[in-house]
Amino acid sequence: MLIVALDPPNYVDVVEWIERRYNELKDIVQGFKLGLPAIIRVGVETISKIFKEYNGLLIADLKLADIGDIMALTASILKEHGFNAVIAHAFVGYKQAIDELSNVCKKEGLKLILVVSMSHKGSEEFLDRHLEGFIEVARIAGAWGLVAPATRPMIIKKVREVVDSEMKILSPGVGVQGAEPGTALCHGADYEIVGRAIAYADNVRQNALKILEIQRQRAAKCRG
């Protein structure tokens, strides 16, 4: 299961860049994730036009980390513009923060995804010390999914052992950040998030197919 992060580089026509990748990949991946590099450059209005016909996961990755009212307002705006999932940080806590965001997500039919650990080294400095607490926030909030790093698969394993099997685990860090395709899936993730290894390749579709095949082979081995 594959989600492609569309983070357009500088000096490209962003609309054309996103459209091309969307058209080349939409029938073979489960979803797309757009974050600040795409959203601040073309805005949600334009993004909603590009993905108008899309039925897969369309994740707004603004890594929300604010008071509840403002995250809730942001989530409604994103929903109005066609996104069907939003990512927020769990570290802001439940009360007057994730509780309010979660209520709006439920009301609007948005999937709430909470970051419990990250793929870069600095995640060990603060975030990872509170992993259990963040998982608890996600559990109380009834989050749809969690972000946990493909670069440190033992964290995924730990998360999978304690969360409900219904809760999805989405794992970035595959490709450029070093994790091999399929490793996160073998440790309990539901989706691997891949950005540059696909979106920056000369042949985007061919690279995505290659990654899907490696995922398939590795998952077949580890799942027996």
> Which residues are identified as catalytic?
63
Residues forming a β-bridge with 169: 146
Cβ closer to ligand BMP: 32 or 94?
Answer: 32
Find the shortest distance in angstroms from Cβ 224 to ligand BMP.
Answer: 28
Token pair listed for 213 = 């095949």
Cα separation, 53 vs 43, whole angstroms: 18
What's the min distance (Å) between Cβ of 182 and ligand BMP? 15
Nearest residue (CB) to ligand BMP, 50 versus 150 = 150
Nearest approach, Cβ of 102 to ligand BMP (angstroms)?
Answer: 19
Q: What is the CA radius of gyration of the chain?
A: 17
Residues facing residue 190 across a β-bridge: none
- Quickly list DSSP for 21-36: HHHHHTTTSSEEEEEH
Positions that interact with ligand BMP (CB under 6 A)? 5, 7, 33, 35, 61, 118-119, 147, 149, 172-173, 175-177, 193-197
Q: Provide the minimum distance between the beta carbon of 170 and ligand BMP in the complex, in angstroms, as a whole number.
A: 8
**Closer CB to ligand BMP, 141 or 150, in the complex:** 150
C-beta atoms surrounding 81 within 10 Å:
18
DSSP string, 43-56: HHHHHHHHTTT--S
**How many whole angstroms separate alpha carbon 84 and alpha carbon 92?**
22
**C-alpha distances in Å from residue 189, one per residue of 9, 91, 212:** 28, 21, 15
Q: Which is nearer to ligand BMP, 106 or 196 (CB)?
A: 196
